[in-house]
Each structure stands twice: as C-alpha cells, then as structure tokens.
C-alpha cells in the first residue's frame, strides 16, 4: 500500500486489539516471551510472579491463551516431540512487533497505576 493514510477514522483496530489480547494472561505471556523462548511450565511459573494469593493458573486457561496467541500469529509453538514432552513457545515477528506496545502499556501503568516498577531504561 502506497502512502500512509493517517486517518483516524474508526476504532476498528482497537477493537481487534482488544479481541486478540482478551484474557488475563495474553499480554503477560507475550511480554515474558520477549526475552526468548520459554517452555510451557516456565511461562506458567513466570505468570505467577506478581500474583499473590490468586492460586494457580488452570492449565486449561493457559493452554487456551497460548493457542489463541498462536492462532493470531503472535507466538509460535515448537513441539520437540520427545518424552517427557518439551514444548517451546516463542514470539513471531508479529509478536515481537507487539512488544513495544506492551512496553508502552507497562510504562504508562507504572507511571499512573502505582508505579512500583523500575523504569526499564535511563534517558
């Protein structure tokens, strides 16, 4: 497509975004994956950081979010086909392009919603 149409017409992309990241863990999963591929249980335990007495995450839930993320092309599932099972999830290019957006969210959140997270960088 030639020429950038900077025409804020409708909120469609926002709605689409909402749909894609609907779910409690999707954003966090993508965020955690930004540092490299992770296995199922690594994602799971990573998700538990920062959650106090909420109990565990139902495998069914995590599984579903992972699948949805994969279907939306944000992450890629790599099954090593070994036993015991080993599966890795990694960001796709699309998923990586999404990281800055989450960074913006995180940044805003830490600035306006309690701010108990250190800045990621120094200016």
- The contact set with DNA (CB under 7 A) reads 22-24, 39-42, 54-61, 63-67, 77, 79, 83-87, 89
What is the number of residues in the chain? 123
When asked if residue 86 is in the footprint of a copy of itself (CB under 8 A), the reply is no
Q: Which of 36, 49, 58, 81 binds a copy of itself (CB under 8 A)?
A: 49
| Distance from C-alpha of 120 to C-alpha of 77, rounded to nearest angstrom | 28
| Distance from C-alpha of 67 to C-alpha of 77, rounded to nearest angstrom | 9
Say if residue 38 is preceded by a cis peptide, omega within 30 of 0. no
For the four alpha carbons of 55, 63, 77 and 84, in that order, the dihedral sign comes to: positive
When the beta carbons of 25 and 98 are compared against DNA, the nearer one is 25
When the beta carbons of 59 and 115 are compared against a copy of itself, the nearer one is 115
Of the candidates 96, 116, 97, the residue with the CA atom closest to the CA atom of residue 106: 116
When asked if residue 122 is in the footprint of a copy of itself (CB under 8 A), the reply is no
User: Which residues bind to a copy of itself, rule: CB under 8 A?
Assistant: 1, 5-18, 20, 24, 27-28, 31-32, 47, 49-51, 94, 97-98, 100-102, 104-120
């Amino acid at each position: 497509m030639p020429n950038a149409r900077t025409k804020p017409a409708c909120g469609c992309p926002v709605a689409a975004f909402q749909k894609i990241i609907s779910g409690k863990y999707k954003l966090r999963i993508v965020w955690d994956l930004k540092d490299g591929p992770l296995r199922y249980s690594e994602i799971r335990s990573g998700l538990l950081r920062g959650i106090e007495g909420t109990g565990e995450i139902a495998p069914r839930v995590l599984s579903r979010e992972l699948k949805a993320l994969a279907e939306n092309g944000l992450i890629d599932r790599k099954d090593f086909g070994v036993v015991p099972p080993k599966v890795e999830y990694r960001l796709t290019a699309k998923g990586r392009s999404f990281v800055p957006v989450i960074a913006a969210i995180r940044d805003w959140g830490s600035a306006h919603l309690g701010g108990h997270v250190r800045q990621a960088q120094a200016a």
